[in-house]
Structure formats: C-alpha cells, structure tokens
Structure 1
C-alpha cells in the first residue's frame, strides 16, 4: 500500500510528520524519501555515514542486475525504533539526481509491495521535479498544512487546481494539520478546520501538535531521551497513523 504525503507551500513539517507516522505505523512500513530537493534523513540517523550511501537512486542502478524488490531491500535502513518493522529508503542526493529517476517504475514497485506499506515524502506538490507518478499512484494522498491563517487560506483557494493536477477525486485525498509555534501564529480549532474542509470535500485525517523537541529527533540528530516515546508528537502520531492506514486500505488498487 502506497500513501503519498505532500505540502502546498512553505515548510509545514512534511518530513517530520512522515517520519513520526512511519515510526508509529501499525504495520511493516517504509518511509521513502521522494522529495525532489534531496535526501535528509540519513544525516539524522547516520551522521557518521556508517551505513554507506544508500538511496533510491541506487535502487534503480542495482535493478539493472537484480530484481527490483531485491534492489530496494538492499538500500533500506532499519529505523532504530526497536521493532524491526519500520525502515527508511533514503532519497536522491540532489535535485539533479532526482530528475533522472524513473518515478513510474518506483511507484509500480511501491504499489506491488503486499506486506509493507510505503509512506512517501514527496515534498511540495507544485515544486519543480515533483514525483507526480508517486503522487497520482498512491492509494491516498495526504496534504500536510500548517494550522495558520495564510496556509489554510492558500489551500482553500487552490484546492480545485490541486485536484486537477493530481487527478484526485473524493476521499482519496486527506488533510493532515500541523500546529505551528503558538507564540508566532494564530491557530484555529481542529474541529473548525475539519468542518470547513469537509464542506470542500477534503476529509481531515488528523493533526500533529507543536512539539519542537520531538520533531528535532526526526529533523536534526536522532539522540532520543527516555521520554521520547511518550512525547506529544509520537503520542498523537500513533492515533493519526491508525486513522490514515484505515482510510488508505479502502482505496488500495
């Protein structure tokens, strides 16, 4: 099952959100870095480079002599969550490398994986080089938006265009709201946001809290404390992961 995550603009926290959801996913899962701007996760989990340089680019390079699924397995890194069920597939190392990837072939591979769910971090949907094959081939497309006036207004004004660009209809799209710093942004109630976008035909799949300490474990350097597993981010992410998985199953092709 393939689920794609993307944002419209800015940096609402797509990578941190996908990382937290993969970490708490109820099934075997792979976080696939498909952001065309380049990979970041290995700098978080392996800053010393002890795992070498695995990447989605190497998947296709090795697939010249190996079956595609075996090539993918050779490039995955086990996430240090203690379960052994969650993995990372590092992304391209640069925008130029991302442009050379056969995203359609990779999408077909992601979709064919029966026992593993792929959570694809696709960056910004309207950015140059966006992996539209992944975005359009996913069972569910999750739009990540910051809980701020500007971000929500922008999404309302461009939602119809996004549907046309991604070929999405009905509830094959979902909205994930990320709360920003309350000191610098006016935030809205989650119920109000859910009701507003339900009227627009975009169901809200959940929200993630403002938790800079928890998010830093996925975006800066992974050195978690004992309280990490009970952090606000992971506590909420577990509930959101269950909801997204439930909705995506209904649309598996």
Structure 2
C-alpha cells in the first residue's frame, strides 16, 4: 500500500472534491486523510452513515495525542471514521490554530501513511509550499498530484510551485487539471506549458469541472451520480492513479537495478 498526496499551488481549484472523488472510486481499500492546515472541509460537507454528523473531534487532532506513543495501522484507523457511502476518512484540524498541536507529528505520520498495510492513503494537503507544515506528508508520498485549473493565473502558480517543489520532493509528480470537458484547448495549453519546463511530470489528467457532479460531494447532489461528467472522467483517473501506486518506488527500482544490473539486458 502507498500514499498519494494531492495539493494545489494557490487558491481553491477543487483539491478536496478531487480527493473525495478519487477515494470514492478507488479500486482497493483506501483512507482519505485531510492534511490541509487551513481546516477540515469534509466534516462540513459530508455525513456519517445514516446521515448522522461526523465527529469533528476524531481525526488528526485526537491522533496527535495518541500518536506520541507510536503510530501504526490500528492507531490510524482508530482515529478515522466512515462517511455515508463507506469511504474511510481521517478528519483534519477544525481551524488553523490547531495546527500547532500537531508538533512534530507530520513527518512520522507521512511515513506511516506510506507504509500502511491495510489501505492506500489519499492525503488532501490543500495549498502547499516549501514552508508548509504538512510538507513532510507530501515528501513521504509515492505520488504527488498538483491540482490546478486551466486559467492563466492558476497555471502560473503551478509552474512556480513545481519549480520549487522538485527540490523538496523525491516522488513521481502528476498534474490534474480541473476544467470543463469542452475546454480541451485550454487543457492542451497547460500541457504545453509543462512541456517547456525542466521538471519531469510523469502523469497528466483532465478531471471534468462539473458542478452537478461536485454537488454530491458537498451534500447537495440529486439524480444519478454515475451519469455525471465528473464521475466519467474520474473513473479512469482513479484506476490509473491506483496502478501508479502499485508500481515499485524509484528507490526500490534503483536498488533492483544496482543488484541485478544485467538482468534487463538479458531479457531482451
């Protein structure tokens, strides 16, 4: 199992909605964690089974106290809860003021998320930068997905963040553009900008901007979710993203090549 960190360079391009959708469509057991220091959105948007409110005191804040004695699958899941629909979530801080109580938990938490035996982990890291407190979670991830829109300002911030983040993160990098399905030229322009950068972006995805579909992940949806453009595009992305996590990490690949340098040549 492994960790994927989803984040934005600036603003609100839909990271939380994208993370919720990926979690809902994930082909394996998965835990969605809110690592955004700006505060939890899921507790406001979603409900527990039966429409009951989520327990906002159970999540990263309660884990911060228990985690000082050690982390592991059982501890992580003991401070998680289930959404109506079955997705396991760990709620984030209620407000930015609670981030200070996390102390030095971010680094061991990221490592534990990436090494969980019972589930993959999707971390909603919100807006990320070189000085962000949740950066250790991003650094521990096997895949880092930056979410943006097809607007000029969003792409400009994306370029700046990638140029900085590449010096702090040793993981596969991906970009997810949230844009109207008809806005293909705008998405192609984003890819063109990325092609001109020296940063290696291994995966690129276009997630449909779809207010009707997104409403289901904000507690306001009606009708058939599976017929929305959001779900149609997200299904393929979730499948591909989960397969990326199943690949050996770069470190594992390099170690294998060092141990068996001629094996690949012998198979040709």
Same fold, TM exceeding 0.5? yes
Q: Would the alpha carbon gap of residues 198 and 192 (structure 1) be closer, same or farther in structure 2, given more than 3 Å must change?
A: same
Q: 5+ residue gaps in structure 1?
A: none
For each residue in 1:68-93, what CA deviation from the matched residue of structure 2 results, as whole angstroms up to 9, or x when unmatched? 43232122222333xx4x31110111
Deviates more, 1:125-134 or 1:31-40: 125-134
- Once the two structures are superposed, the pairs formed by residues 50-129 of structure 1 within 5 Å of their partners are 51=55, 53-63=57-67, 68-81=72-85, 84=86, 86-101=87-102, 102-126=105-129, 129=132
1:167 aligns with 2:164: no
Q: Do the aligned partners of residues 94 and 197 (structure 1) sit closer, same or farther apart at CA in structure 2, a change above 3 Å counting?
A: same
Native 8 Å contact 1:12 1:145 kept in 2: yes
**2:179 match:** 179
- Superposed displacement of residue 39, structure 1: 0.9
In our comparison, the structure showing a higher alpha carbon Rg is 2
In structure 1, what is the equivalent of residue 230 of structure 2? 233
CA offsets 1:177-227 (integer angstroms, 9 cap, x no match):
111698xxx873434433542453223431111211221222x3x254341
Unaligned runs of 5+ in 2: 253-268
Q: Name the CA distance, whole Å, in 1 between partners of 2:204 and 2:100.
A: 31
Given that 1:99 and 1:129 are in contact with CA atoms closer than 8 Å, whether structure 2 keeps it comes out as no
Q: Which has the higher contact order (CA 8 A, sep 6+)?
A: 1
Say which SS state the counterpart of residue 188 (structure 1) adopts.
Answer: helix
Alpha-carbon contact 1:55-1:93 (below 8 Å) kept:
no
Assess if the C-alpha contact under 8 Å between 1:205 and 1:240 holds in 2. no
- The residue aligned with 2:34 is 33
| Cross-structure match for 1:250 | 247
What number of residue pairs does the alignment pair up?
Answer: 242
CA distance, structure 1, for counterparts of residue 108 and residue 160 of structure 2:
33
- 2:147 aligned to which of 144, 149, 152: 144
